[in-house]
Copies of this chain bind each other. A is one copy, B any other.
Amino acid sequence: MSGKRNLIRSGKTVDQMVRAIGDRIVTGYLRPGEKLDETSLAARFDVSRTPVREALGHLSAMGLVERRPNRGAIVAVVTQEHLASMFESMAELEAICARFSAERMTSAERRSLEIEHQASARMVQLGAEEDYEYFNTEFHTRLYRGAHNPHIHDLTVMTRSRLAPFRRAQFMLPGRLAKSWQEHELIVTAIMRGDGAAAGKAARDHVSIVSEASAVFAADGGKPVRRDVA
């Protein structure tokens, strides 16, 4: 092979490909149903087909790609029903995380959650959607961690990554930013009170609203975003 990377034998070539391809799927660069040719991918990443196959296997296990025996792999295409079921699951998972967080977060965790949440208020005032999206992700990640349950954390993160392509544009709806912040506020105050039930309910409602907001974009057959192919 020509042009071997200087990082020969880095030991994580496959992992890099999983992330690279996964990101492209999750961010909508690759559209559902798109064909993933092993040979082309091998050429594109300048490796042989073997690591490509391994990467595709991982992505398949993650549910991001679909593999038909002897018929190649395509970007996983999710039906409306399955998408709805994932959003519903997400709401339940977040509810659990919020409930556990209310019951188990250390005082340090509660403090930093509150501080970051208050900081994000500035993003809302400025209407900085990109920045708020970052804070938003961070916020939810704190809830997952605060549950102090590694397995629920994994399940939640996994589900979130599968939903990522359908959530990207939610903040483009007018007024969504401010409402999102208010919903976070409800969750935070419930957690600060140690009120697990209220935190759970607030989190579930929050995700349900995101679900409805995202349904608009899901309706037209996935993400229209497509700036680059591979």
Contact = CB atoms under 8 A, between A and B. Distances in A.
A107 B12 CA distance: 51
A54 interface: yes
Nearest to A153: B85
A49 to B, nearest CB: 11
Contact of A12 (B69, B152, B159): B69
A84 to B, nearest CB: 9
Contacts of A57: 54, 57-58, 61
A86 interface: yes
B85 A11 contact: no
Given A61-B62, A69-B12, A152 B88 contact: yes
A204 B58 CA distance: 32
* Residues of A contacting B: mostly: helix
Given A57-B57, A58-B57, A155-B159, A150 B69 contact: no
Contacts of A96: 92
Contacts of A86: 151
Contact of A88 (B70, B82, B92, B149): B149
Contacts of A151: 82, 85-86, 88-89, 159
A48 B178 CA distance: 57
Nearest to A70: B11
A81 B81 CA distance: 35
**Closest 8 A/B residue pairs (Cβ):** A61-B61, A89-B151, A11-B69, A85-B149, A85-B151, A86-B151, A89-B152, A57-B57
Given A12-B69, A92-B152, 20 more contacts: A11-B70, A50-B50, A54-B57, A57-B57, A57-B61, A61-B61, A61-B62, A81-B150, A82-B150, A82-B151, A85-B152, A88-B149, A88-B151, A88-B152, A89-B151, A89-B152, A89-B155, A151-B159, A155-B155, A155-B159
